[in-house]
Amino acid sequence: MKQNLAFVFPGQGSQQVGMLGELAAQHGVIQETFKQASDALGYDLWDLTQSGPEAELNSTDKTQPALLTAGVALWRLWCAEGGARPAQMSGHSLGEYTALVCAGALSLADGVRLVKLRGEAMQQAVPAGEGAMAAVLGLDDDKVEAACAAAAQGDVVAAVNYNSPGQVVIAGSAAAVGRAVELCKEAGAKRALELPVSVPSHCALMQPAADKLAEALEAIEVIMPQCAVVQNVSAAASTSVEEIKQNLVAQLYSPVLWTDCVNTMVAAGAETMIECGPGKVLSGLNKRIQRSLSVASISDAAGFAKALEL
């Protein structure tokens, strides 16, 4: 286990039709992993990721299993190619589930079924059009929080993703998010724009989804992970299975403390963070949070080969 190495797993938004196609053509473990996930889900997940349609892949109940499986497939390939084992893992929102599967706390079959249910429960919790999310750039966290408090007016709106210094995502009821966006602009935000999502994740409106998730988690075997998994709601590695489960449930209606998660891993010795999933979203955030970090993404052949040499 390499003490200065951490693996991080992206959340929703990193999916794209054709992801991992290049690596899958060279390494059978990618499609083997997707076949296992497909068997658990009852539909061809690999075909969906490669052929679309894009709108279906972007439906949250399909996106979540697809991204989890992509991360696990890349992790398995990393291990098969002799990559160093990290001392720590973390994942952004959905990515936390990927981290737990890769760390041995959850089976792949249970993981994909769980996040499928999570996606369905999130979609059902708030009718389409009633919730919203927005990204606020270039405004201090406390000013974003103050704008949300002033905009609420009896509705729900809150800071839900602390992605990096100066980048916060807010979520809640559509009207309140709209008011908060205007207040953030008035407070001096460089940009404040609503995001094209159908679910207001990580705010109080997700409580009904959390209740369903808690019930599902009771029926699934979770064991302690083989390395530290830093969880979003606490920015710490849990010390019991019960705590892991409680944090997964709370994550649905609580902020993702990504900046704190990265700082926790750095404080524990992480100097290199490898993004294990499609895209490079987390690599960009992580570098902004800690400029001293070495970051890498392994979602294509060139990036994978480069990361193996780190």
| Catalytic residue of the set 93, 238, 254, 299 | 93
Whole-Å CA distances, 39 to 19, 36, 105, 119, 180: 20, 5, 20, 19, 44
Catalytic annotation present for 93: yes
Q: What are phi and psi of 137, to 5 degrees?
A: -115, 135
Question: What order do you get walking across the sheet with 167-173 strand by strand?
Answer: 157-164, 167-173, 131-137, 191-194
Which residues, 6 or more positions from 109, have their beta carbon under 8 angstroms from its beta carbon?
36, 37, 39, 40
| Catalytic residue of the set 164, 202, 234, 297 | 202
Cα–Cα–Cα angle for 6, 34, 258, rounded to 5 degrees: 30
Are the C-beta atoms of 283 and 272 separated by less than 8 Å?
A: no
Are the C-beta atoms of 23 and 30 separated by less than 8 Å?
A: yes
Question: What order do you get walking across the sheet with 228-231 strand by strand?
Answer: 236-237, 228-231, 86-91, 2-9, 272-275, 294-297
- Helices 108-125, 207-218: axis angle to 10 degrees equals 160
Catalytic annotation present for 27: no
Tell me the DSSP string of 255-300: -B-HHHHHHHHHHTT--EEEE-SSSSHHHHHHHHH-TT-EEEE-SS
Q: Write out the two tokens for 234.
A: 């606490």
The secondary structure of residue 196, as a DSSP letter, is S
Q: Is the peptide bond before 65 cis (omega within 30 degrees of 0)?
A: no
- Which residues have a catalytic role annotated? 93, 202
